[in-house]
Structure 1
Amino acid sequence: VAAIKQAADKVGMNYTIEEGEAAFYGPKLDFIFRDVLKREWQLGTVQVDFLLPERFDLEYTGEDGLKHRPVMIHRAPFGSMERFVGILIEHFNGAFPLWLSPVQVMMVPIADRHIEYAQVVATQLRAAGMRVEVDASSERMNKKIRSAQMQKIPYMLVVGDKEAEEGAVAVRTRDNVNRGATPVAEFITHVTTLITTKSMEL
Structure 2
Amino acid sequence: SCHRNEPSGALHGIMRVRAFTQDDAHIFCTEDQITSESVIFCELLQSIYADFGFEDIRVKFSDRPEVRAGEDDVWDRAESALTDACDAAELETVLNPGEGAFYGPKLEFVLRDAIGRDWQCGTLQVDFVLPDRLDAEYVAEDGNRHRPVMLHRAILGSLERWIGIIIEQYSGRMPPWLAPTQVVVASITDSANGYAEQVTEAFRAAGMRASSDLRNEKISYKVREHSVMKVPYILAVGGREEEAGTVALRRLGSNEQQVIPMQEALAMLRGESLPPDLARRAAMAAE
Quote the offset at 1:79 in angstroms: 1.2
What are the superposed Cα offsets for residues 9-63 of structure 1, whole Å, 9 maximum, x if unpaired?
4443332232322111001111101112221110111222222211111100111
Indicate how the Cα distance of structure 1 residues 12 and 162 shifts in structure 2: closer, same or farther if over 3 A, else same.
farther
5+ residue gaps in structure 1?
A: none
Does 1:113 pair with 2:191? yes
5+ residue gaps in structure 2?
A: 1-78, 280-287
Report the secondary structure of 1:182's partner residue. strand
Does 1:90 pair with 2:165? no
Give the Cα–Cα distance (whole angstroms) in 1 for the partners of residues 110 and 131 of structure 2. 28
Q: Which residue, out of 88, 102, 123, partners 1:45?
A: 123
Report the secondary structure of 2:96's partner residue. coil
Residues 10-29 of structure 1 mapped to structure 2, 5 A cutoff = 10-29=88-107
Q: Which residue, out of 56, 66, 82, partners 2:134?
A: 56
Quote the offset at 1:67 in angstroms: 0.9
Give the Cα–Cα distance (whole angstroms) in 1 for the partners of residues 270 and 149 of structure 2. 43
Q: Which residue of 2 aligns with 1:180?
A: 258
Q: Which residue of 1 aligns with 2:25?
A: none
Give the Cα–Cα distance (whole angstroms) in 2 for the partners of residues 123 and 12 of structure 1. 48
Quote the offset at 1:197 in angstroms: 5.9
Report the secondary structure of 2:224's partner residue. helix
Report the secondary structure of 1:196's partner residue. coil
The letter for the 2-side match of 1:50 is: F
Q: Which residue of 2 aligns with 1:4?
A: 82
Percent of residue pairs identical = 43
Indicate how the Cα distance of structure 1 residues 96 and 117 shifts in structure 2: closer, same or farther if over 3 A, else same.
same
The letter for the 2-side match of 1:117 is: Y
Does 1:101 pair with 2:179? yes
Q: Give runs of ≥4 in structure 1 deviating > 4 Å.
A: none
Indicate how the Cα distance of structure 1 residues 189 and 8 shifts in structure 2: closer, same or farther if over 3 A, else same.
farther
Report the secondary structure of 1:96's partner residue. coil
Give the Cα–Cα distance (whole angstroms) in 1 for the partners of residues 175 and 136 of structure 2. 45
Does 1:153 pair with 2:242? no
Quote the offset at 1:72 in angstroms: 1.3
Give the Cα–Cα distance (whole angstroms) in 2 for the partners of residues 3 and 116 of structure 1. 64
Give the Cα–Cα distance (whole angstroms) in 2 for the partners of residues 3 and 183 of structure 1. 58
Indicate how the Cα distance of structure 1 residues 100 and 197 shifts in structure 2: closer, same or farther if over 3 A, else same.
closer
Report the secondary structure of 1:45's partner residue. strand
Q: Which residue, out of 161, 180, 191, partners 2:269?
A: 191
Q: Figure out how many residues of one structure are paired with residues of the other and give that number.
A: 199
